């Protein structure tokens, strides 16, 4: 993924600053609670939500199982419709392809539709290094770009900013990038939106190259789909002469009939709308209408490695609705930046360590960035069991066998951290396989319980500092059972 996050510390350290920032926490709390309540209302209107959720899960699982077949079908359909398909194994390859395609047009600037895939590969930075300016046109992405910031939410990348901060960014930065902010700009939403509209309009009308991602790709016709709320995407997809779309290979659905399911679940789960204000679809090129050249860059970048993992592959079902972020108590307090990836929150905690491997400090810590409360699973419109994958990835980190990527190669390494947890698990295994010793230990613990500390020493202090340690009973359960029931307990 993007180099922007390389070298980040582990999640707890990265989150510390955010947790202590009251303004940030206030912004996040207000935004996530508002979206969460609206989503719940939008979902409750649909009587067959559970069936839609199950259908989405099944369609995605089926497609992932036959991904090779559907990708080939998609390539044929796109090519037949006049598009050109490119395959990129990793971020470097995708960036190189896009850079060369833009250079071939002779242009030095592009307009972009909001796209997670291009953020994942650090495309803007790669283009900048080649002397090509990429302008984000989604309002929240524009705020992030002008503020030289990083996105902190999948759907609302500037969720950590309030209106006053946005007004200040527009006032100070817009003139650097093009049309300045209007005189006397206030922080009312209408004025901020108008300032962005005026600033972006000249870029839309000038740009000859547009770059997008896609929410879905329909294999049977080679159609790409972008859903959005502002109309900026429609401009980028229709006005430029050349359109380049960079899309993860898992975004494919076999048929339009399958797409129908997601066009119902995605808007309600993301923006709490019954349908998206703008749903743009395009199939190759059309004479005299829209871009005359269309390139599709199909991106792997760790997805086939993820697909190879029986438990972890369900993360590839994700339709990036962000509902899991808005209900997550950890995300609400830590914010998005601490996840060290363009994919924050619960989905980021399972996707990033799979796409990038668990070799770095931040990636090895992400599976622990959760209380395993399960709220993410409850709201996920494609029923990704995020807690299950988190536990699975913790196992991977703790038991060694960390998976890292070196270029195109997947490398297994022994884990570096979490030695204490490994030792504790070994001790527990020994105790549970020696019932006599376990019973002696339990009796000793009961007899000495008055002397037990209420907090743990050493590295356990932080854990016990925020929790009540359960009191040790006066009598072990097995002794109580034997005394009151008079029988033998099952372990004897």
Contact residues: ligand SF4, CB under 6 A: 269, 318-324, 347, 379-382, 384
Query: Minimum distance from CB of 380 to ligand SF4 (Å)?
Result: 3
* Residue where the block lists tokens 């430029």: 240
The partner residues of 281 in beta bridges, in order of sequence, read 225
Nearer to ligand SF4, 169 or 324 (CB): 324
Nearer to ligand SF4, 126 or 321 (CB): 321
* Residue where the block lists tokens 């790669």: 126
From CA 340, how far away is CA 349, in angstroms rounded? 10
From CA 473, how far away is CA 467, in angstroms rounded? 18
Query: Minimum distance from CB of 317 to ligand SF4 (Å)?
Result: 7
With a CB cutoff of 8 Å and minimum separation 6, the contacts of 154 are 116, 320, 321, 322, 325, 343, 344, 345, 347
Query: Minimum distance from CB of 384 to ligand SF4 (Å)?
Result: 5
Query: Minimum distance from CB of 357 to ligand SF4 (Å)?
Result: 20
Q: Is 306 helix (H, G, I), strand (E, B) or coil?
A: helix
Is residue 94 within 8 A of residue 127, CB to CB? The reply is no
Q: Which helix (H) or strand (E) holds 185?
A: none
Query: Minimum distance from CB of 60 to ligand SF4 (Å)?
Result: 9
Q: Which two tokens stand for residue 43?
A: 């979902």
Query: Minimum distance from CB of 342 to ligand SF4 (Å)?
Result: 12
From CA 254, how far away is CA 65, in angstroms rounded? 12
Query: Minimum distance from CB of 467 to ligand SF4 (Å)?
Result: 28
Query: Minimum distance from CB of 86 to ligand SF4 (Å)?
Result: 26
Nearer to ligand SF4, 207 or 380 (CB): 380
Nearer to ligand SF4, 237 or 328 (CB): 328
With a CB cutoff of 8 Å and minimum separation 6, the contacts of 115 are 211, 212, 213, 246
> Could you tell me which of 29, 129, 121 has the C-alpha nearest to residue 341?
121
How do 223-228 and 216-218 pair as beta strands?
A: antiparallel
The partner residues of 244 in beta bridges, in order of sequence, read 211, 295
Nearer to ligand SF4, 116 or 134 (CB): 116
Q: Which two tokens stand for residue 482?
A: 């034997």
From CA 111, how far away is CA 238, in angstroms rounded? 11
Nearer to ligand SF4, 310 or 406 (CB): 310
Nearer to ligand SF4, 223 or 270 (CB): 270
Nearer to ligand SF4, 127 or 321 (CB): 321
Is residue 124 within 8 A of residue 253, CB to CB? The reply is no
Nearer to ligand SF4, 200 or 323 (CB): 323
From CA 101, how far away is CA 295, in angstroms rounded? 8
125: left (phi over 0), alpha (psi -120 to 50) or beta: alpha
Nearer to ligand SF4, 334 or 347 (CB): 347
How do 242-248 and 209-212 pair as beta strands?
A: parallel
Is residue 94 within 8 A of residue 246, CB to CB? The reply is yes
Query: Minimum distance from CB of 453 to ligand SF4 (Å)?
Result: 40
Query: Minimum distance from CB of 254 to ligand SF4 (Å)?
Result: 19
Is residue 226 within 8 A of residue 266, CB to CB? The reply is no
From CA 330, how far away is CA 345, in angstroms rounded? 8
From CA 132, how far away is CA 145, in angstroms rounded? 15
Nearer to ligand SF4, 336 or 381 (CB): 381
Nearer to ligand SF4, 261 or 379 (CB): 379
Query: Minimum distance from CB of 179 to ligand SF4 (Å)?
Result: 34
From CA 406, how far away is CA 416, in angstroms rounded? 18
Is residue 246 within 8 A of residue 115, CB to CB? The reply is yes
Query: Minimum distance from CB of 261 to ligand SF4 (Å)?
Result: 13
Strands (E), 310-436: 402-406, 409-413
From CA 173, how far away is CA 144, in angstroms rounded? 11
Nearer to ligand SF4, 222 or 335 (CB): 335
Query: Minimum distance from CB of 266 to ligand SF4 (Å)?
Result: 8
């Amino acid at each position: 993924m993007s180099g922007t996050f390389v070298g980040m510390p582990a999640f707890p350290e990265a989150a510390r600053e955010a947790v202590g920032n009251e303004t940030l926490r206030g912004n996040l709390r207000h935004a996530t609670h508002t979206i969460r309540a609206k989503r719940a209302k939008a979902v409750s209107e649909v009587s067959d939500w559970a069936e839609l959720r199950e259908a989405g899960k099944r369609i995605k699982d089926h497609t992932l199982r036959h991904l090779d077949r559907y990708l080939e079908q998609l390539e044929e359909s796109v090519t037949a419709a006049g598009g050109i398909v490119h395959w990129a194994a990793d971020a470097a390859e995708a960036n190189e392809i896009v850079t060369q395609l833009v250079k071939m047009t002779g242009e030095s600037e592009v307009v972009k539709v909001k796209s997670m895939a291009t953020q994942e590969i650090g495309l803007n930075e790669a283009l900048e290094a080649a002397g090509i300016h990429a302008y984000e046109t989604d309002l929240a992405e524009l705020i992030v770009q002008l503020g030289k910031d990083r996105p902190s939410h999948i759907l609302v990348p500037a969720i950590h900013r309030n209106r006053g901060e946005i007004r200040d960014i527009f006032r100070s930065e817009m003139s650097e990038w093009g049309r300045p902010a209007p005189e006397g700009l206030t922080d009312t939403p209408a004025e901020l939106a108008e300032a962005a509209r005026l600033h972006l309009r000249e870029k839309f009308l000038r740009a000859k190259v547009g770059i997008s991602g896609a929410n879905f790709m329909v294999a049977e016709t080679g159609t790409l789909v972008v859903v959005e709320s502002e109309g900026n995407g429609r401009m980028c997809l229709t006005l430029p002469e050349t359109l380049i779309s960079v899309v993860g290979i898992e975004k494919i659905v076999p048929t339009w009939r399958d797409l129908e399911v997601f066009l119902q679940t995605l808007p309600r789960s993301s923006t709490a709308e019954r349908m998206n204000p703008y749903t743009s679809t395009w199939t190759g090129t059309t004479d005299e209408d829209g871009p005359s050249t269309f390139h599709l860059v199909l991106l792997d970048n760790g997805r086939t490695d993820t697909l190879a993992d029986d438990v972890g592959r369900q993360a590839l079902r994700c339709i990036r609705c962000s509902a899991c972020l808005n209900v997550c108590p950890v995300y609400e307090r830590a914010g998005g930046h601490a996840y060290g990836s363009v994919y924050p929150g619960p989905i980021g905690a399972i996707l990033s360590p799979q796409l990038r491997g668990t070799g770095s400090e931040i990636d090895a810590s992400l599976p622990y960035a959760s209380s395993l409360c399960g709220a993410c699973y409850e709201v996920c419109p494609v029923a990704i069991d995020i807690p299950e994958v988190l536990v699975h990835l913790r196992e991977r980190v703790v038991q060694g066998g960390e998976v890292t990527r070196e270029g195109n190669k997947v490398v297994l390494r022994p884990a570096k951290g979490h030695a204490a947890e490994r030792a504790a698990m070994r001790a527990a295994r020994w105790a549970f396989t020696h019932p006599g010793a376990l019973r002696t230990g339990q009796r000793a613990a009961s007899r000495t319980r008055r002397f037990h500390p209420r907090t743990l020493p050493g590295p356990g202090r932080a854990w016990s500092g925020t929790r009540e340690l359960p009191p040790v009973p006066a009598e072990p359960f097995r002794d109580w059972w034997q005394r009151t029931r008079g029988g033998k307990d099952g372990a004897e």
